[in-house]
Amino acid sequence: MGTKLKPGVVWGEGYQKLVAACKQGGYALPAVNIVGTNSVNAVLEAAARNKSDVIIQLSSGGAQFFGGPGLADAAKARALGAASAAQHVHMLAAHYGVCVILHTDHANKALIPWVEAMIAEGEAYYRLHGRPLFSSHMLDLSEEPLAENLAECARILKKLTPLGMSLEIELGVTGGEEDGVGSEDLSTADHARLYTQPEDVLRAVEMLRPLGHFSVAAAFGNVHGVYAPGNVRLRPEILDASQKLVSEKLGVEKPVNFVFHGGSGSDKKDIDAAISYGVFKMNIDTDTQFAFANGIGDYVAKNPEAFRFQIHPETQKPLKSLYDPRKWLRAGEKAMGARLDQAFKDLGATGRSLAQEG
Ligand SMILES: [Zn+2]
């Protein structure tokens, strides 16, 4: 392939090269939701170990948590928490020797002010450093009428393009619930809306392609969260139909950059099919959340006294070395990293980093 990029956060042309390399090379990058420096570092460490590039993203709730749940102004915490997380990644990513796409997750209509606040932070950052704070943001207006969804996406994309940023949009509704956006009750979801219509994808491409770079979170039966088998049927061929329709109109091969939401708990064969139809990004949150909790849960189960006493009640030994937060947070980081090893492998990303020093 020959394309090499400097390690660290990618944006603009570098970002576009990375997306193109994924689609041409038939692999995708995991997009991992993070909520603090522990999860950020776990992702960077796993990406480095797997010699893969990676996508680090924050939901609005994750960004608020990063800013601190004790900060009284939640909107401020969401915007500043996102900016703080991004600066942490900018500071460290290059030292892990991989390329990182920095992204923010679902923003519905009520969260447009959050996106605009991050763009304002990003513009200030750009003036100082000559690069954007984030590689891309997402707008999820899939609950709104298509015309309104696309008009708003166009308005935001016009602000992102001068910063060298990309926009992720959503067409059709991803089932399940992600951080308060969407519904956990799958039975009430309108089933036609769970599958993106190729004509809608074409309309989005015709409207947004002239304005800048964007990707499409398409609904092909995917849901957020992990549900009992039989509740969901994935139909990745929906992506193929959209890709073919747009390709015919534009005369370009695989023109659409697809994003797979609700990747946790998916079958390998559905992942492979989705990637072959132009998916370059698969979100993973539920499974990495569980892994982090599971790692800490195991640690607590093995060392229960350390979480209740400073001195062991029977042996009288000090327990400081066991309740030190670095010990049990590290157990969470390691378990999250082990789940990510599998994600890189499932997505065909292992060993394919474009990063090269020099
Ligand atoms: Zn999602």
Query: Is residue 329 situated within a structural domain?
Result: no
149 lies in some domain:
yes
Model confidence band, residue 177 (pLDDT cutoffs 50, 70, 90): low
Catalytic residue among 105, 179, 287, 346: 105
Is residue 105 part of the annotated active site? The answer reads yes
Give CA–CA dist 256/239, Å, rounded.
Answer: 9
Q: What is the pLDDT of residues 15-65, one digit of tens each?
A: 999 999 999 999 999 999 999 999 999 999 999 999 999 999 999 999 999
First-to-last C-alpha distance (Å) of the chain: 18
Q: How close is the Cα of 97 to the center of ligand 1, in Å?
A: 27
Instruction: Give me the helix-helix angle, 286-302 and 325-346, nearest 10°.
Output: 140
Q: Is the pLDDT of residue 265 over 50?
A: yes
Helices in 217-267 by DSSP H: which ranges? 237-250
Q: What is the pLDDT of residue 183?
A: 54
Answer whether residue 65 is part of any domain.
yes
**Six-digit token string for 347:** 């997505």
For ion ligand 1, residues whose CB falls within 5 Å: 178, 261
Number of domains in the chain: 1
pLDDT value of residue 262: 84
Q: Which residues pair with 318 in a beta bridge?
A: 311
Cβ atoms within 10 Å of 326's Cβ, excluding its own: 10
Write down the pLDDT at residue 255: 96
Find residue 156's DSSP bridge partners: none
Structural domain containing residue 241: 8-290
pTM of the predicted protein model: 0.94
Could you tell me if residue 90 is inside a domain?
A: yes
Residue 304 lies in a domain: no
Tens-digit pLDDT profile for residues 206-252: 999 999 999 999 888 887 777 666 666 788 999 999 999 999 999 99
Classify residue 297: in a domain, yes or no.
no
The reported pLDDT for the residue numbered 149 is 97
- Ligand 1 centre to CA of 107 (Å) is 10
- The pLDDT tens digits for 86-137 are 999 999 999 999 999 999 999 999 999 999 999 999 999 999 999 999 999 9
Q: How far is the CA of 42 from the centre of ligand 1 (A)?
A: 21
| Residues 311 and 318: beta-carbon distance below 8 Å | yes
Residue 188 in this model has a pLDDT that exceeds 70: no
Which CATH number characterizes residue 243's domain?
A: 3.20.20.70
How far is residue 254 from each of residues 83, 191, 333, measured CA to CA in Å? 33, 27, 36
169 three-state secondary structure: strand
Over residues 276-283, the mean pLDDT reads: 97
Q: How far is the CA of 167 from the centre of ligand 1 (A)?
A: 14
Q: Is residue 312 part of a domain?
A: no
pLDDT tier, 266 (very low <50, low <70, confident <90, very high otherwise): confident
CA of 171 to the centre of ligand 1 (A): 12
Q: What is the pLDDT of residue 97?
A: 98
The DSSP bridge partners found for residue 333 are: none
Q: Is residue 41 situated within a structural domain?
A: yes
